[in-house]
Structure 1
Amino acid sequence: MNILNHKKWILLLTLLVALLPASPSGAEPKGSTLSSYSVYSKGFRIGTITSSQQFSEQNGSPVIRFETRTTVKAAFLWLRYSLNTVESGILKNGALIAYSRYGEDNGVRIDVEGRLEDDHFRFDIREHGVPRTVTIPRRSYEATTMEFPEARLDFHGKAPVSIRVLDVEHLAVVAREYRFDRDATCTISGKHYPCQVLEFSDQNKSARRWIRKENGTVLMYRQDGSGAKSSYSVQATSIVQEP
């Protein structure tokens, strides 16, 4: 597999496992949450993801600080790939105001730092030792991929909803369509949880998520995705919430 297809394959694995500080009940999230996931592709377990979220308040506004650690090591006949990243950010009033991603992508160091300032989201990137900057006007997007926008959408009548989303994976605004699929049940460590299955798609990828709204937050139990030539599944192994 060439380098381009390596990239297309691993870009599918970026996902949000942070919690969303909003719900129809208006309840405010409190405490912290630790989530663990296994990553699968072609039926093989190829990695793990752990995510921690800390809820607090700043000048009367709810704040979430999250950190996600991803480790992937795939060794197929047609592909060998490794990924080790640490992703972190801050959401205030449900909106992303700071973001960073550090790590190695198949041995190549890639660092990204972003922040909302002066009505623009500015990303400073260093890849292969070369720096560059990407600036996105705040008015150009309605939400970011780090905010679980689908959990706040009204799917009355089950009609698809399309919004402009800042994709922090690709550092670009995309037109993403969200669809309600069905109500379902997820099983984690022998416990059963009611959830909703929602789908999304844009020009870069498509995926299906199993989520649940609880105590002012959104929990993600599973995500299955596909791209040009590959597919993956991220499945929760444990989700622990503390007051």
Structure 2
Amino acid sequence: MKKLKVAVIHSHVEQSLQAADRLYQLLKQSGHEIDRDNPDIVISIGGDGTLLSAFHLYNHKLDRVRFLGVHTGHLGFYTDWRDYELEELVNSLCNDQEKSVSYPLLDVRIKYRNGKPDKHFLALNESTIKRGSRTMVADVLIKDEMFERFRGDGLSVSTPTGSTAYNKSVGGAVLHPSINAFQLAEIASLNNRVFRTLGSPIVVAQQEWVEIQLQNSTDYLVTIDQFNIQQDEIKSVEYKIAEERIHFASYRHMHFWHRVRDAFIGEV
């Protein structure tokens, strides 16, 4: 029987706390080691937000760590197990074959005007750019070539797994995670006889990149998943598919379109 080093990340709602306590007991009884510093598997208990937090805690160890999600509420896009299935989950760990399924990530680089060094991030879901209470004006470059001058509320850039989140609410397409690409969607663009944008989401291939060049201002807000990056003098934000990928333990990995149907349509 294989013994694993396991980290458990949980939300602080009562149901998640109870599930975490029970999981700790089962893991110890099975001989697995609780190790938050160098885990083989990271188990999140809560919802998709909890798994996003777990991802950002361990995104510097993506070549060594697999993730697994337990949901304590509604079915999420990253959670395959329910809190009443913990015994079955631990039994699956004991028979671990080190199999995994991987999803693409978004590489985000923020550049500044004032000589500050660039900042680099990985996003599992999405990144957005908005500007305070004013219309955002930005040049959109694809592979260093001018594509359009955007005017509107902002721009959303998402991974395939993140395409079901904010991207979908602003009219973006839902992409299967086997497609190694990212999506750029406009947020309330201004289109009239003077100002024109494409007005449609675009899917950008793995070998291409997008740079959003911003006008000189201090009121931009950049989000990376659930985190806000609000700092002075952002010059541009560059997006591409990351070299790194997130790996999920595939003991019982639910089909993507099954998740989409359950989340947005329900029983047919």
TM superposition score category, shorter chain reference? under 0.3
After TM superposition, the score normalised by the length of structure 1 is 0.25
Name whichever structure is richer in strand by fraction. 1
Higher share of residues assigned helix: 2
TM-score by length of 2: 0.24
* Larger Rg, first or second structure (1 or 2): 2
